[in-house]
Amino acid sequence: MTEPPRFRRRRRLSAEETRLWAEISRLVTPLRGRAVPSPPLPLPEPIPAPAPVAVTVRPGRPAAKTPVLKQAPVPPPPPPAPVLPPLAPLERRVRTALRRGSRSVDASIDLHGMRQAEAHAALIGFLHRSRAQGHAVVLVVTGKGGAGGDPYGERGVLRRSVPHWLRLPELRPLVVGFEEAAHHHGGGGALYIRLRRR
């Protein structure tokens, strides 16, 4: 199979070639029925470059400098937050000792009757102080709440909120785990909280 012929790109004629073509085409007699070939278009005249402008600098006056804008340095990315293990219940040995009364809690706080914002701030401060003092297990009393026997009524807001606060990033570095307290420590209205070691 033969390849189709390759066509070259037509180049423009130089001024000299255009002049020669005009001379030759005047000497040629076209065949009958053929039109006289038109002369090729002349090359466009080159555009002259603009003349350089002279800048006069007066002595004693320094030339104005173009201000150079400095790019602000890009701050390094923040270090990744430490990945903490999920919250876990108290160890079985510690839980049994607390329920039997053979071990007492290291510290306790009663949030019962406080407003949410006040209780939240008190809880954070208490957990930081307890950890700084080396406590391992602390008791947080939320109160059972619930008027008319409904433990999840409007008055039981701290009972619902404290477990949520303990899972937030601000307290996760302090808390290993938590669970409902034994009956003699408040039962459903209190929580044992296991603190992370320093």
* 68-117 pLDDT, tens digit each: 667 778 788 877 766 667 788 888 898 889 888 888 899 999 998 889 99
* 27-73 pLDDT, tens digit each: 777 677 666 556 555 555 666 666 666 656 566 655 566 666 677 78
**In whole numbers, what is the pLDDT of the chain averaged over residues?**
78
pLDDT score of 153: 46
Q: Which CATH number fits domain 92-195: 3.40.50.1100, 3.40.50.1980, 3.30.1370.110, 3.40.50.1000?
A: 3.30.1370.110
Longest dimension (CA), the chain: 128
* 6-16 pLDDT, tens digit each: 656 667 778 88
Cα separation, 42 vs 13, in Å, equals: 7
pLDDT score of 172: 87
Q: Which residues contact 116 (CB under 8 A, 6 or more apart)?
A: 157, 158, 161
Task: Give whole-number Cα distances, 120 to 32, 76, 123, 163, in Å.
Answer: 108, 33, 5, 11
pLDDT score of 58: 64
**DSSP secondary structure of 44-103:** PPPPPPPPPPP----TTSPPPPPPPPPPPPPPPPPPPPPPPPPP-PPPHHHHHHHHHTSS
For residues 124-133, average pLDDT: 93
pLDDT score of 2: 60
Is the pLDDT at 149 greater than 60? The verdict is no
pLDDT score of 32: 72
pLDDT score of 154: 46
Only one residue has tokens 């510290």, namely 107
Q: 16-25, 112-121, 149-158 — which is least confidently predicted?
A: 149-158
For residues 121-128, average pLDDT: 94
Amino acid at 69: L
pLDDT score of 23: 81
pLDDT score of 118: 92
pLDDT confidence band for 123 (50 / 70 / 90):
very high
pLDDT score of 124: 93
